[in-house]
């Protein structure tokens, strides 16, 4: 069935229903692939929620995004996949924490758009291994994801998460014992 985008943006319910039936699998697949690639997991609820958010984006502001589709530049499947990927990445960015809790205190991670003085913590020599220091530097200073770090270092993503966890555990214990 051919989708009539002119009828779609006019709000034709039958056309919208056909559009949703035809492209839900495309959007769902693109969302799930993106979540798997960037977060290492894609649960059913998040994938379905994101699929719905893509449809909402398409109709928002009187179909503004859907009206911007240009068939001479890409197929509708390709275009919807890009929109879905973008929505998924936005979702993952919103999930990434801006603060990391260290017991009762918090180490503030500065927002790149808001210039703030950097917080420097003196970590005693020998407390962390060079690999742990590197991973913490990449996570907090460079704001890299576990997947990006794994690719850079040539190790498994789970190994990055484990190194990060063990380093933070050592820091928590050290600062708790120091009674700061």
| Angle, CA of 93, 96 and 98, to the nearest 5° | 115
Predicted local distance difference test score (pLDDT) of residue 97: 53
Residues 79 and 109 in one domain: no
Are residues 119 and 173 part of one domain?
Answer: yes
pLDDT of residue 37: 85
Task: Please indicate, yes or no, whether residues 105 and 172 belong to a single structural domain of this protein.
Answer: yes
- Whether 91 and 9 map to the same domain: the answer is yes
Work out how many domains the chain is built from and give that number.
Answer: 2
What pLDDT shows up at residue 175?
80
The per-residue pLDDT for 129 is 86
- Of 61, 95, 129, the one marking the end of a domain is 95
Q: What is the CATH number of the domain that holds 165?
A: 1.20.140.160
CATH of the domain at 77: 1.10.1740.10
pLDDT at 99: 43
CA 48/CA 39 separation, integer angstroms: 16
Whether residues 91 and 104 share a domain: the answer is no
Contact assessment for residue 169 and residue 135, using Cβ atoms and an 8 Å cutoff: no
Residue 137 shares a structural domain with residue 75: no
Predicted model pTM: 0.53
Sequential pLDDT tens for the chain (180 residues): 577 888 888 889 999 999 999 999 999 999 999 988 877 887 888 899 999 999 999 999 889 988 888 888 889 999 999 999 988 888 887 776 544 444 434 344 444 454 444 555 677 788 888 888 888 888 888 888 888 888 888 888 899 999 999 999 988 888 887 665
Do 31 and 106 lie in one domain? The reply is: no
Supply the pLDDT for residue 53: 93
Of 36, 70, 95, which residue is a domain's last?
95
Regarding whether 161 and 143 lie in a shared domain, the answer is yes
Q: Are 149 and 40 in contact (CB under 8 A)?
A: no
Residues 89 and 150 in one domain: no
Q: Which domain holds residue 125?
A: 99-178
Same domain, 89 and 138: no
Give me the pLDDT at residue 116, please: 45
**pLDDT at residue 13, as a whole number:** 92
Domain end marker among 72, 95, 118 = 95
Do 162 and 125 share a domain, yes or no? yes
Instruction: Say if residue 43 is in the same domain as residue 80.
Output: yes
**In the structure encoding, which two tokens stand for residue 111, read together?**
């927002």
Q: How far apart are CA 31 and CA 126, in angstroms?
A: 43
């Amino acid at each position: 069935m051919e989708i009539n985008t002119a009828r779609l943006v006019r709000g034709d319910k039958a056309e919208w229903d056909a559009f949703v039936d035809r492209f839900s699998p495309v959007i769902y697949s693109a969302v799930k692939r993106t979540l798997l690639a960037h977060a290492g997991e894609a649960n059913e609820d998040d994938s379905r929620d994101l699929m719905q958010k893509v449809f909402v984006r398409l109709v928002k502001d009187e179909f503004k995004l859907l009206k911007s589709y240009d068939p001479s530049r890409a197929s509708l499947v390709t275009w919807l996949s890009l929109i879905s990927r973008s929505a998924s990445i936005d979702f993952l960015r919103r999930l990434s924490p801006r603060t990391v809790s260290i017991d009762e205190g918090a180490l503030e991670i500065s927002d790149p758009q808001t210039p703030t003085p950097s917080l420097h913590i003196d970590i005693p020599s020998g407390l962390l291994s060079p690999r742990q220091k590197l991973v913490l530097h990449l996570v907090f200073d460079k704001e890299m994801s576990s997947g990006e770090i794994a690719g850079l270092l040539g190790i498994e993503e789970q190994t990055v998460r484990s190194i990060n966890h063990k380093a933070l555990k050592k820091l928590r214990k050290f600062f708790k014992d120091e009674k700061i």
